[in-house]
Amino acid sequence: MTTPGAKKLLLVEDDETLRHLLAEQLTALEEFDVRQAAHGATALAAAQAVSFEAILLASRLPDMDGAAVCAALRQAGVDCPILLMAAEGEPDVAGCSDRLVKPFRIGTLLTKLRQHARPTGDDPALRIGPYEFRAVARTLRDDGTGAETRLTDKEAQILAYLHRAEGAIISREQLLEQVWNYNEGVTTHTLETHIYRLRQKMERDPANAVLLLTEPGGYRLVP
């Protein structure tokens, strides 16, 4: 029986023993409604039929690798967080929100899922200058024109974290920790690139920002 309000999770893993073990442990918490897939093609069909809050994706599958599956998912318009399950030393996959190095503890998995999986409840409208920001939907709606701008998963997480700071300066290290969760492959250059892209989307004059400000030691969001 599915627990009301449980987050829909797609678990894509061809190792049957591991897949069933993870599904059993996650389902037992009554926090996740877990659907399973052993092949990339099955995962693609499932993700296009059901709106998932997150996808757990193995790096290697019988019919295609994780990179190909992730690329196909994104091309098909699936924009929920995708967490890659990969062995030590395997490369990161473009389009994935985070990764878990096999073997991993269930506690580590839960931490990452709770960080990335979209809430199933309310998505309150937050005020940022002339915009209505919705973190779950990942949209910025311009009050004046009504135009809606889509944000990436990381862009929305950055804005949500800065918004919660209520105008305080947040260091680059804090943002890297909170948004990328200590991923060693992520540098301050990655963060700066995301900040640059956010300004292109939300500032009238990106070269002279008035909403997303660079301050000594970090960044600040003007409500």
- The DSSP line for 121-181 is S----EEETTEEEETTTTEEEETTT--EEE--HHHHHHHHHHHHTTT--EEHHHHHHHHHT
The structure's pTM equals 0.56
Summarize pLDDT for 52-110 with one digit per residue, the tens.
889 999 999 999 999 999 999 988 888 888 999 999 989 888 888 889 999 998 888 98
Work out the average pLDDT over 188-195.
91
Q: 3-state DSSP call for residue 32?
A: strand
Residues carrying CATH 1.10.10.10, the chain: 126-221
Mean pLDDT is highest, among 69-78, 121-130, 183-192, for 69-78
Among the listed residues 152, 194, 203, the one whose alpha carbon sits nearest the alpha carbon of residue 175: 194
**Measured between alpha carbons, how far is residue 27 from residues 36, 43, 92, 114, 117 in Å?**
12, 19, 28, 14, 15
**Class of the CATH domain delimited by 7-116:** alpha beta
**Which pLDDT belongs to residue 1?**
46
Q: Which fold has domain 126-221?
A: Arc Repressor Mutant, subunit A (1.10.10)
CA distance 44 to 74: 10
Q: Please list the residue range(s) of the chain that carry CATH number 3.40.50.2300.
A: 7-116
What is the overall mean pLDDT for the chain?
87
pLDDT at 21 over 60: yes
Phi, psi dihedrals of residue 27, rounded to the nearest 5°: -65, -35
